[in-house]
Amino acid sequence: MTEGEGIQDLFAGGRGGLGFNPVTGPPRIRVKREDAERARAALSEVPEPLPSDAELAALAESAGQPEEVGPVPSGLGGLLVALGVILHFRAVWIAHDLSDLVTGWNSKEWRDVVTPGGRAYHPLWAPYRVGFLAIDSLLFLWAMILIALFWRRNRWFSTATSLFLLADWVSEVLSLLVLWQIPSYAAVMSVYTLRDFFLLGILALVGTLYLRDSARVRATFTE
């Protein structure tokens, strides 16, 4: 039972803003002795007060604010510099291969492999050399365009470079497949022969993933 509850509003302005009458004091809860422990337990389980309107408004405002993040890196730095160096080096390397193809066109070694009855003749040598002269020429021009896009920070750089890296690796695969069909060359193939296959494959995989996911790349190539 509650003691003093009925007279809370009879004197001195009632409960006022205190929640109880200041003259009679707050009401008291009286229970039987045997129910004392149960009453204390019930009173201790007071639910947490609901947040006020001001607290709810503050929570809503904080939830609507975006998280602060650090500045996005941009410019030619980090791994992007390494990629640029690789592209320049690859252009030089392809130019070197083209030079070897052109200068060796009239050599005795070349005549031996393309002339029927020659020491190392095989019918695939001629189309192989002509085909890869065309492929390397295309790759060289492609690499030069990429270098221009790189320095201009053109937005097409990322896509064009990913395709170039893949095409460069595919050309190496085709080269090995053709050479594998030439017995005189297949007989001397070794792990070293597969060096470019693995290097270009790793470069294509890592480079493509980097160009796709890098925040620096997205922030740099915007022209």
Within-domain flag for 62:
no
Within-domain flag for 89:
yes
Predicted TM-score of the model (pTM): 0.66
Question: Among candidates 135, 112, 100, 79, which has minimal Cα distance to 182?
Answer: 112
Number of folded domains that form the chain: 2
134 and 205 in a common domain: yes
Within-domain flag for 70:
no
Enter the DSSP assignment of 11. S
84 and 180 in a common domain: yes
Record the tokens describing residue 38, joined without a space: 């149960």
- Tell me the pLDDT tens digit for each residue of 147-165: 999 999 999 999 999 999 9
Q: Please give the residue range of the domain that contains residue 100.
A: 79-220
Q: Quick one: what percent of the chain has pLDDT higher than 90?
A: 40
102 and 208 in a common domain: yes
Predicted local confidence at residue 161, as pLDDT: 96
Within-domain flag for 138:
yes
- Tell me the pLDDT tens digit for each residue of 179-214: 999 888 888 888 888 888 999 999 999 999 999 999
110 and 204 in a common domain: yes
214 and 104 in a common domain: yes
Q: How far apart are CA 113 and CA 105, in angstroms?
A: 11
Helices (H), 36-78: 36-44, 53-64
Within-domain flag for 165:
yes
Within-domain flag for 7:
yes
Q: How far apart are CA 223 and CA 74, in angstroms?
A: 13
143 and 88 in a common domain: yes
27 and 100 in a common domain: no
Within-domain flag for 51:
no
Phi, psi angle pair for 45, to nearest 5°: -90, 60
93 and 163 in a common domain: yes
176 and 126 in a common domain: yes
Within-domain flag for 73:
no
Q: How far apart are CA 180 and CA 188, in angstroms?
A: 10
Record the tokens describing residue 59, joined without a space: 């929570």
- Tell me the pLDDT tens digit for each residue of 51-107: 666 776 777 776 665 555 667 788 888 889 999 999 999 999 999 998 888 887 778
Residues in the chain: 223
SS3 for 28?
strand
- Tell me the pLDDT tens digit for each residue of 23-58: 555 666 666 667 667 767 766 665 566 666 677 677
Per DSSP, what are the bridge partners of residue 21? 25
117 and 26 in a common domain: no
117 and 188 in a common domain: yes
186 and 110 in a common domain: yes
